[in-house]
A = this chain, B = another copy of it.
């Protein structure tokens, strides 16, 4: 008797429900899965039995036969552990970039009752573990946020045959679906805007140059400036954090004291630049105009509000999720890429 205290009532199974409803397991299964061919009468009986028993289908059992898990992985992959004072996680989670992506993904996943498994890959060991995890069939597909161009993961995923969508253009010509913003065009708009404002001594703070996004923005900006007759644009490399923006701005100021226009490859670095310019008693935009990239929420709240190139990250992430769902639904679906427009948002800083 006293042993009853710890004896939990066994989780009800299809079998139990079937018994209660006086039908076969198959019928209950049909009702649960909303398959048409069921007598409305019976359906009600079954539903009552489900409610009465508090039945919930067992995920593992279902997954074993359907070969579906109802989960997808969001993988954030960094090719190498970086050595700077640059903790991977701190960077990931402090940049609004990540939150905006998750937001967009969850928005499209939730109505499909698909869950998100978050995985961080920052070294070889983690990558090995990841590949194993995927092969074990924990998830139906993968959204890969991969920064470093040399990242082997896009290739590995493609080989594994797991449905996957990449957050950028693959560096080699790997047949994998991806979503991207028009980086190049955006950067050209930045150049045009600075020149139109009358800036003549312009410099840029780039992102890490092992990433195509950084490279594209730099190339676009250089091309834009070149079109206006500025063949040379000084640049300093940052790492997309605010502090790196500060360091870069200090360096730029030391090397080019008369700089009057800055294009930073993301908003966080632009905000760092803003702080340093202020430290030096320089007015923005009067003395130096500053333009960022992303359009984070914080861009509206800095001093002064930041002119920036907006990329619609939420929409892009949502599109990644949709694409992935399509690939999961139809494994033969052809590899697809979607490019989103970027947009110049003029606020006060430039």
List the interface of chain A (C-beta within 8 A of B). Answer: 6, 8, 56-61, 63-64, 69, 71, 74, 87, 89-90, 92-94, 96, 98-100, 102-103, 106, 110, 113, 115-120, 126, 129, 132-133, 135-138, 161, 242-243, 246, 275, 278-279, 297-298, 301, 303, 332
Contact = CB atoms under 8 A, between A and B. Distances in A.
Q: How many copies does the complex hold?
A: 2
14 contacts: A58-B64, A59-B138, A60-B61, A94-B96, A94-B99, A106-B120, A110-B129, A113-B129, A115-B133, A117-B117, A242-B298, A242-B301, A246-B301, A278-B303
Given A60-B63, A102-B120, A110-B126, 4 more contacts: A59-B137, A63-B63, A90-B99, A246-B301
A136 to B, nearest CB: 4
A71 B117 contact: yes
A120 B103 CA distance: 10
A94 B297 contact: yes
Contact of A59 (B93, B136, B275): B136
Q: Classify the secondary structure of A's interface with B.
A: helix
Given A60-B60, A118-B118, A301-B246, A138 B89 contact: no
A330 to B, nearest CB: 13
A74 B119 CA distance: 12
A164 to B, nearest CB: 16
B93 A96 contact: yes
A60 B69 contact: yes
B94 A56 contact: no
A90 B297 contact: yes
Given A8-B161, A71-B138, A96-B90, A115 B106 contact: no
Contact of A90 (B90, B103, B132, B135): B103
Contacts of A69: 60
Contacts of A113: 129
A89 B98 CA distance: 10
Closest 7 CB pairs of A and B: A93-B99, A60-B63, A89-B103, A60-B64, A118-B118, A59-B136, A56-B135
A210 B136 CA distance: 43
Contacts of A106: 89, 120
A137 B60 CA distance: 8
B136 A58 contact: yes
Contacts of A133: 115
B93 A98 contact: yes
